[in-house]
Amino acid sequence: MQKKAKVGDKKIIRRLDMKRSVRRARPAAGISGGINPLLAMRELPRIYERMGDCLLDRMHRHAGNPGVTRSLSRQLDWVGTRAQLVNSFIAAGDGALGYLCAESLSPERLASLVELTARHVAEERLPVALFLMEKIDEELRLA
């Protein structure tokens, strides 16, 4: 027999949150359908490539401003490094990719961050996408 949840009962609230996240994770029909961390990780290199293109476009537009170009160059270097890292995990196989996902703080959150980042990678949403990429780094414990 279950006790009735009291207001402020953190264990009950956590348990309910966990049940909700498990329910969301069950469909696992791909990055746009359900939440599947492995498929989300396979999507990351394409997101990094699109982000790199956006950064390069912005660098060409601000070629006359060395400060902006330098800042964008650092961000491009960071994006390239992350793309190489994720590509090396993908090349190593599903075991390595699964390990990377398992080491994340919350695989479901990681997948939803990747999905959200994919929607925001565009020239006009560059700061938002970079912020989300930093959150992905934190989730993967790379930061």
HSE-up of 135 (CA within 13 Å, CB side)?
A: 17
Is 5 inside any structural domain? Answer: no
pLDDT on residue 6: 52
| Number of domains the chain is built from | 1
* 52 located within any domain: yes
Q: What's the pTM value of the predicted model, to 2 decimals?
A: 0.69
Predicted local confidence at residue 104, as pLDDT? 77
pLDDT bucket at 34, cuts 50 / 70 / 90: low
Q: Report how far residue 68's alpha carbon sits from residue 45's, in angstroms, rounded to the nearest whole number.
A: 25
Q: Tell me the pLDDT tens digit for each residue of 78-111.
A: 999 999 998 998 999 888 888 888 877 788 888 8
Q: Is residue 84 part of a domain?
A: yes
Rounded CA-CA distance 129/40 in Å is 16
**Residue 96 lies in domain:** 10-139
Whether 135 maps to a domain, the answer reads yes
- Residues 6+ away with beta carbon under 8 Å from 91: none
Read off the pLDDT band of 39 (50, 70, 90). confident
| Other residues' Cβ atoms within 10 Å of the Cβ of residue 9 | 12
